[in-house]
Structure 1
């Protein structure tokens, strides 16, 4: 007969095997919960950023529990862009975090509702050296880095973060001015690698430059590329924005304005292709984070120099609320013990997806970490030449796999870090419907 202590130790061993380095029919949902389309009125844009670096010790998200910070190497930011055309106002904000639960995204949306309504995308760069806001990486038993016995979330920091994100959006809204757009895409070799399947690697970088009209000075630059932000490895204890921080600072240095990096289909397992030393050991250093960030920045800047201006661009928004079964027994166990705090409705998570049309560009949001093949599926459905897949947007539901991959031994880790095997079918159907509705209403410029 198991004692309480032995039972707890057994559960700890199972937990260690499941928490790693990264972190059916859908119920009634609301397809096209909101549809807005502007006429060809002038486009306005504003951008701002707010520092969100923690001032106290925090538990760092990713890799394993009990990774308490020991200082700050470089700052974290919330980077916001607001676009307005006629009655349509859309906000995009990206945070230097591993991820943010949908419950907290909805609180941020309520704070910005006065200026944006519900038309807001909140995404994370998937930074593995930022505060744990999911809960899975808190203090562990005996400090051994095994099982967290409580959530790693600093509630005071989380409340401050939400206020600062709303503040960045309000500042971006105050900065609105007439704007014009330029799009570009390019292939970037040697920066990323898929350690599960090297044949599955989307090397496309898609970029949008928002310029003042007239004048031409940069308001914002949006970059979309797939790669885990984990150049700094599990032994790092300093808060850092990792390569996305270097990327954004370099783009801002070259072009001005505010740079925003949105991760793409980075799941299963697309990570940084770091250099090795003379003994073949991987270099998980700040110098490598800088090299990779600057490589992506140079690729984006160079592509945008010969980018395509958008002629009379039209702005549109469509979204759908979804409910995803909360099937992962490890997550359910962690929620039961208060380690993960997430609201459920009849055993399901509320989340959402959105489609943004902007001239020849189209954006889709995915509430987690889709595998590269799923990103390709979405791009095939999208119209126009510039296709942005915004991962970790609106939520962090872990890895998102199709039915075939969900059953493969190769993806055992990703499966253990996925909310449900039903996530992809539900997300796919919703986005397909929204894209079809957008195409029927007014095709994306080609």
Structure 2
């Protein structure tokens, strides 16, 4: 397993204030019993859409170039610039709410030509994907991964009921435009949707499954209550989720098993004018969010899941440390 800062050649921009980016690269590598590399899992937070809205092709964008680069080698015009490390590479999207992107006009530096590409397109997606791939390959070749010699596996999941207060999404849900199975109630919120959160432990690494697109400040801190927000209150989603995680490398996977939209801190919720931070136009995010309680609900449920794991692990450790004669009593 490995965790390292995002390379400076592949900057990520937070398109909505406050500017908070969870931009570390987190990687798991899996070997066979014989020691051969089976594959890698890469967790990073960016919308894989650098080809942008004029692209008419089916593409995996940044993720595709990263996967090919790590597994098969970084290739330009049929020539391998840097050999890959083999195996199968899996991309898991990190915390991308806000939103995390590289917009047209913002540069990405090609890792081999050194060209700074600002125009949206597959060239920019390739530069970003290959830039991340090159950094992962370097970490592997320089033996900077931490080896887990006796990995254990634990899996926890929990169903979570979210209220839908976004009337546009509620209407789309009721009419079947959005394919879901809502439930209807006589008390607020009248329309609710059941999703799930999940947590996996692989040795000293963890993977947290989040069913939507999480604003990074819920993960790493930095939640604010700016002038213009719909609710005047202190941050609700505290402590930051990463502070409650126990692994050496902690992957956070957005859009895991579901796609409930943006998960926004309640104190930053801005569905009505005046807009936050003095913006003159409506802020983007709320239109594709279930509602203002989604962030607090998800944060609360994940903390409960982490605490359940801590308690279980503590009991298991105590049991394993008991002398055999005590265990048999």
Say whether the fold is shared (TM-score over 0.5). Answer: yes
Determine the structure 2 residue equivalent to 1:242.
Answer: 61
CA 1:399/1:311 → structure 2, altered by over 3 Å: closer, same or farther? same
Q: Do the aligned residues in 2 keep the contact of 1:264 with 1:375 (CA within 8 Å)?
A: no
Indicate conservation of the 8 Å contact 2:70/2:85, yes or no: yes
Change in Cα spacing, 1:332 to 1:198, as seen in structure 2 (3 Å) is closer
What is the aligned counterpart of 2:262 among 399, 410, 426? 399
Tell me what 1:426 maps to: 297
- Which entry has the higher C-alpha Rg, 1 or 2? 2
User: Which runs of 5 or more structure 1 residues have no equivalent in the other structure?
Assistant: 1-182
2 CA distance for matches of 1:281 and 1:294?
13
Deviation at 1:276, TM superposition (A): 8.0
**Which 5+ residue runs of structure 2 have no aligned equivalent?**
73-83, 110-115, 185-190, 221-239, 277-281, 318-329
2:90 counterpart (236, 257, 260)? 260
Q: Deviations over 1:423-446 (max 9, x none)?
A: 11111111111111111222699x
Partner residue of 2:46 out of 224, 227, 233: 227
Q: How does 1:44-63 map to 2 (within 5 A)?
A: none
- The one of 150, 154, 170 aligned to 1:312: 150
**Equivalent residue, structure 1, for 2:27:** 207
1:423–1:198 CA distance, 2 compared to 1 (3 A):
closer
SS at the partner of 2:183? Answer: coil
- Counterpart secondary structure, 2:247: coil
Name which of structure 1's ranges 362-371 and 267-276 shifts more when overlaid on structure 2. Answer: 267-276
For residues 382 and 332 of structure 1, the distance between their equivalents in structure 2, rounded to whole angstroms, comes to: 33
Q: For each residue in 1:314-335, what CA deviation from the matched residue of structure 2 results, as whole angstroms up to 9, or x when unmatched?
A: 1101111011112111112223
Deviations 1:122-171, CA, capped at 9 Å, x for gaps: xxxxxxxxxxxxxxxxxxxxxxxxxxxxxxxxxxxxxxxxxxxxxxxxxx
Contact 1:186 1:299 in 2 (8 A): no
State whether residues 217 and 256 of structure 1, in contact with CA within 8 Å, keep that contact through their aligned partners in structure 2.
Answer: no
**Separation in 1, partners of 2:197, 2:218:** 15
Which of the numbers 373, 379, 401 marks the counterpart of 2:217?
Answer: 373
Please report the TM-score for the alignment, with normalisation by the length of structure 2: 0.74
* Residues 67 and 91, structure 2, Cα contact 8 Å, conserved in 1: yes
Superposed displacement of residue 250, structure 1: 0.8
Q: Does 1:351 align with 2:180?
A: no
1:5 counterpart residue number: none
Q: Provide runs of 4+ in structure 1 moved above 6 Å.
A: none
| Correspondence for 2:107 | 275
* Mapping 1:30-429, distance limit 5 Å: 183-188=1-6, 189-191=8-10, 192-197=12-17, 199-214=19-34, 216-253=35-72, 254-272=84-102, 274-275=106-107, 282-304=118-140, 305-346=143-184, 347-376=191-220, 377-407=240-270, 409-410=275-276, 412-429=283-300
| Equivalenced residues, count | 260
Shift of 1:199: 3.5
User: In structure 2, do the counterparts of structure 1 residues 281 and 362 end up closer, same or farther at CA, with 3 Å as the change threshold?
Assistant: closer
CA RMSD of aligned residues (A): 2.3
1:218-256 deviation per Cα after TM superposition (whole angstroms, max 9, x unaligned): 212000010011101111111111110110111111121
CA distance in 1, matches of 2:117, 2:203: 46
Q: String of CA shifts for 1:357-400, please: whole Å, max 9, x gaps.
A: 11111111111001111122221110022011011101111110
Partner Cα separation in structure 2 for residue 300 and residue 373 of structure 1? 25
In structure 1, C-alpha distance between the alignment counterparts of 2:53 and 2:268, rounded to whole Å? 27
